[in-house]
Amino acid sequence: MRLTPPKPHRPYFTLKTPQNSSAMADIAQELNRWHAERFSSEVDDKIRLAYLFSPEWDTRINTQWTAYDELEKRRAASKTPRLKWQDGVEGERDAASSVRKKSFVPIHQRLWPMRPLWVHLNSYHNRPDHDDEQRHNGWASMLDSWKEIQRLMRDDKAFRDSLSPTQQRSFQLLLSWWQAEYCDQELLDTAIGCLERCRPLKITFDPSSNRRLERIAKSVATDTSLYHAKLFRNFLLEFHPLAWEPFISHHRLFLLQYSRYKAACAATMQKLSHAILYPVAVTPKRYPRVIQNDTDTQRLIGQQTSIKPYYLWDSSTQKTVVVAELSACPEYVCISHTWGRWRPKDRTSVEVPGIPWLVPENTLYDVRDVPEQLVRLKHRYIWLDLFCIPQDKSKRAEIEISRQTFIFQGSSHCIAWVYDVESWDGVGAALDWICLRSLSILSHRHTDVISKRVPKATTAAQTPMELLTRKPLEGVPPSDDPYEVISGDPSGWLSSLWTLQECVLCPDIELYSRTWVRLEDRRGSPISLRALMVFLRKTERHCWLKGPIETPFSKPDEHDTAIINHPDRDQRASVRKWSYPGAVRDLFYLCMMTRLDNVLTSGSPTTVLTNSNLRVCSRSRAPAIMSAVGVTEWYLKSPSKKREEQLVFGKYPLSFLREAASKFGAIFYESMANKMPRSRSTQELRHILLRGEREGTMLPVSKSPAWINGDKTTDTRSPEWFSKISGSVEHTYIDRQDHPSVSKWSIEEDGSVSMSSAGIALTSKDESQARKIVGHIYCATAEMDADGRAVAVVKGVEDMLETLRGLRNGSRVIYAVALYHDLGRLYGVLLEMLPISVFGKHYLNKIGSFMMEWTDLPPTTKVDWKIL
């Protein structure tokens, strides 16, 4: 017989004694009292005034949470019902914990040169790093710091020298803005008046967020001008104490550095455009220096600046002099020009009085006339390659060629002698039209004046633009519009590989015509090459619009994004479909062809190599750019005969590329090819392998340049008109850390890259994960367009694994291989495993690149791969 245990005694009702009820009421009352105290202005302000996740913040917030946790234990023990506000408060606590895990990165000393200007000022005076009162009185502190820094920059050389280049550039941008050098004084009067009225106010929130900026837009006039809005925000980021958080330093430094870059771009556009409205002669001032990243370029070429040129040309005595024989190295100007492609067939050289070697002749000009022409520059000492580098292939010549970095950077300024340009009329007319259009889109001011000037500017811009050499397009039927049936190549100076190096070494180089007339804006300031290219690149993004968009100027980041992603924008529209006046179309076309905006601003040496694919060189290509990227050891250590023995693609010495990869680090492999065919069959791939053909998909250099004089490989219809290598995505680097496996990758003579190990972050065959990886992807598909290019997928993704699965070509596995980590993000390349292997070695192609949010560097995995 089965016995059933007796049921436990259950009372008919729960007795709620007055004592229990009182205890529950007491704990609820204490919790409510805690809530009121925690979010009182006194306690909440004290927490907010501490740097987020700092020791002070931890102490202040943990004191509150310790008290709360004790009360919560008592509440649970007494079975008191949870209060309505508890879920929200605990949710905020969990959110803060999540943010801390992702973003907690205290600023390292190596990153101090990027800090806001007010932080540097405190450090210079040995003031405390954190001060509650300074943050609470943020408006007053901001104005006082700005006033003090202006005084120190004027009177204290030690302080000026203590600023990093990026801090100096930001100060100059803000000073020009504050003094309304190229904007309406009314804008600054309005903004300054508002800031002075805010001086006595105490706040505890960051005023630089988009939400806060929009609230005060009318009070500071940032709703009327994008330039004014960007500079105002940069001012807040540089000087308002509440805009800085050193314990989430990567995030804040990225915002600051990106703001500095965007402010410099906006200032360049504004300075050139403002001169159209007010063409009054003023003391010429140089354009802002636009640099996205200082670190890599400075690391590679910013050393040994004390090295001087061996020779200089003395215009006064009309002879080449040895610098060491002078009392000191004098101030000198460098002249960049191109002549190698125009050597006569018999390659003759002639004597030029005052020069101790024969000077090569060219068909552009008589080299014997140059000394007299140089007198027009009114500079006594000049560096010109023909007159200052022995033209005899001697050891001295090799040394001077390898010193180009120090020679150009040591000059007072640089001049580009663009010999095939007679005048700047076409360029000037195009710039006038672009300036008026840009002002009408990026500002709500002067609309009547602008609209009245546009018709005349449009007529004037229907003229040839001097920096582009035009030629008929073969096979295109006649048209009433001459710009429909002609293409063009850049001027000789803009297509030379040697001049690429010189403009990289001196990006603010000034452009002079054949008759030594300088390219200037309407107020007489020289338009540097970098300023010109930045202006063209940035204005091309919005000049197709007819007027301002709905997104307000007061939210500058959102405004930029809205223009780029505008639904009416056709980013792949043919150049011949641009509805611009002829000279304007030519100028935009020139910028797209040369991509000098990228190479002169990115700060990444890899962009110099990708840009070299667009350039012409009659001799070995590596010596023409080695100084610009700091890769000269291979040249100095190897005999001249051996330099040309192992050439990748028959163009670049293997030793040069290996040294470049070693010095650049992981960013060497970051560029992307425009042609990445993924549709080849296994049989085709085997034939390619047997023939020893390699695409070089991992390299920033290609088999053939985009356009070559005398070889009509390019026009606006050809897939080669730009380049096989498109360069890499533009990044603002903060604290890049390369994956350790990358340094062991080896470039081979056939252009392939051998890998014995790799950091594999993800593969298309991985199993689904609980955490979806968010990021961005650029990947070629197996589909080809009409020009023979692989159709690419470029987009932000919410689930990286699912995206990789969707991009698979049949059963071929895609590997996401890490290059480097920066700012909590992982950057790398997408490699596709090909269905062929030899003795265990697997062959792959690079098919794209990726960025993964909040992803660490993956562990190293041993592989036996060759990337074709």
Q: Could you write out the DSSP letters of every residue in 809-862?
A: -TTPPEEEEEEEEETTEEEEEEEEEEEEEETTEEEEEEEEEEEEET-PPPPEEE
pLDDT digits (tens, 9 = 90+) for 372-390: 999 999 999 999 999 999 9
Q: What is the pLDDT of residue 571?
A: 55
**53 in any annotated domain:** yes
pTM, entire model: 0.91
Q: What is the pLDDT of residue 566?
A: 87
**260 in any annotated domain:** no
**626 in any annotated domain:** no
Q: What is the pLDDT of residue 389?
A: 96
Predicted confidence (pLDDT) at residue 469 exceeds the cutoff of 50: yes
Q: Are residues 169 and 132 in the same domain?
A: yes
Q: Are residues 704 and 839 in the same domain?
A: yes
Predicted confidence (pLDDT) at residue 483 exceeds the cutoff of 60: no
Q: What is the pLDDT of residue 472?
A: 60
Question: Which of 13-22, 635-644, 773-782 tops mean pLDDT?
Answer: 773-782
pLDDT bracket for residue 696 (50, 70, 90): confident
Q: What is the pLDDT of residue 569?
A: 75
Q: Are residues 67 and 122 in the same domain?
A: no
Q: What is the pLDDT of residue 719?
A: 35
Q: Are residues 70 and 27 in the same domain?
A: yes
Across 196-200, 293-297, 505-509, 854-858, least confident range: 293-297
Rounded to whole angstroms, how far apart are CA atoms 749 and 443? Answer: 54
Helix axes of 226-239 and 249-277: crossing angle, nearest 10 degrees: 140
Predicted confidence (pLDDT) at residue 503 exceeds the cutoff of 70: yes
What's the number of domains the chain is made of? 4
Encode burial over 375-385: b for 16+ CB neighbours within 10 A, e otherwise.
eeeebbbbbbb
With a CB cutoff of 8 Å and minimum separation 6, the contacts of 778 are 672, 729, 792, 793, 794, 848, 849, 850
Q: What is the pLDDT of residue 688?
A: 67
Give the DSSP H/E element, type plus range, for residue 381.
Answer: strand 381-384
**565 in any annotated domain:** no
Q: Are 489 and 709 in contact (CB under 8 A)?
A: yes
**499 in any annotated domain:** no
Share of the chain above pLDDT 90, in %: 71
Which among 343, 375, 402 is the end of a domain? Answer: 402
Q: Are residues 141 and 121 in the same domain?
A: yes
Tokens of 109: 């000393």
Q: Are residues 778 and 699 in the same domain?
A: yes
Read off the pLDDT of each residue in 838-843 and give the average, rounded to a whole number.
86
Written as one letter, the residue type at 12 is Y
Q: Are residues 703 and 839 in the same domain?
A: yes
Tokens of 92: 């905020």
Read off the pLDDT of each residue in 476-499 and give the average, rounded to a whole number.
71
**338 in any annotated domain:** yes
pLDDT bracket for residue 717 (50, 70, 90): very low
Q: Are residues 177 and 81 in the same domain?
A: no
Predicted confidence (pLDDT) at residue 677 exceeds the cutoff of 80: no
pLDDT bracket for residue 4 (50, 70, 90): very low
pLDDT digits (tens, 9 = 90+) for 678-695: 767 777 777 666 666 667
Share of the chain above pLDDT 70, in %: 87
3-state secondary structure of 510: strand
Quick one: CA dihedral 388, 394, 399, 402, positive or negative? Answer: positive
Q: Are 781 and 795 in contact (CB under 8 A)?
A: no
Rounded to whole angstroms, how far apart are CA atoms 458 and 443? Answer: 20
Q: What is the pLDDT of residue 593?
A: 86
pLDDT digits (tens, 9 = 90+) for 530-582: 999 999 999 998 998 888 999 999 999 999 999 988 887 765 555 556 789 99
Predicted confidence (pLDDT) at residue 826 exceeds the cutoff of 60: yes
Across 30-34, 470-474, 645-649, 804-808, least confident range: 470-474
* β-bridge pairing 652-653 and 647-648: antiparallel
Predicted confidence (pLDDT) at residue 72 exceeds the cutoff of 50: yes
Read off the pLDDT of each residue in 437-454 and give the average, rounded to a whole number.
96
Rounded to whole angstroms, how far apart are CA atoms 477 and 497? Answer: 34
**534 in any annotated domain:** no
Q: What is the pLDDT of residue 475?
A: 58
Predicted confidence (pLDDT) at residue 804 exceeds the cutoff of 70: yes
Nearest CA-CA partner of 360 in 347, 378, 370, 369? 347
Q: Are residues 366 and 398 in the same domain?
A: yes
Q: Are residues 188 and 128 in the same domain?
A: yes
Q: What is the pLDDT of residue 16?
A: 47
pLDDT digits (tens, 9 = 90+) for 614-646: 888 867 789 999 989 999 999 888 776 666 778
Q: What is the pLDDT of residue 786?
A: 66
Q: What is the pLDDT of residue 97?
A: 96
Predicted confidence (pLDDT) at residue 11 exceeds the cutoff of 70: no
Cα distances from 368 to residues 12, 257, 397, in angstroms, run: 118, 49, 21
Q: Are 169 and 289 in contact (CB under 8 A)?
A: yes
Tokens of 282: 């003023």
Q: What is the pLDDT of residue 780?
A: 87
Mean pLDDT of the chain: 88
Which among 379, 402, 425 is the end of a domain? Answer: 402
Residue 706 or residue 92, greater confidence: 92
Q: What is the pLDDT of residue 687?
A: 63
Nearest CA-CA partner of 362 in 379, 382, 380, 348? 348
Place of tokens 């449009």: 458
Q: Are residues 98 and 114 in the same domain?
A: no
Q: Are residues 211 and 326 in the same domain?
A: no
Q: What is the pLDDT of residue 140?
A: 98
Written as one letter, the residue type at 791 is V
pLDDT bracket for residue 229 (50, 70, 90): very high
Predicted confidence (pLDDT) at residue 512 exceeds the cutoff of 70: yes
Which among 103, 138, 164 is the end of a domain? Answer: 103
Identify the domain containing residue 214 by its residue range.
Answer: 109-245
Written as one letter, the residue type at 149 is I
At 621, give phi and psi (nearest 5°): -80, -35
**328 in any annotated domain:** yes
Helix axes of 582-594 and 425-442: crossing angle, nearest 10 degrees: 90
pLDDT digits (tens, 9 = 90+) for 296-327: 555 554 554 578 999 999 999 999 999 999 99
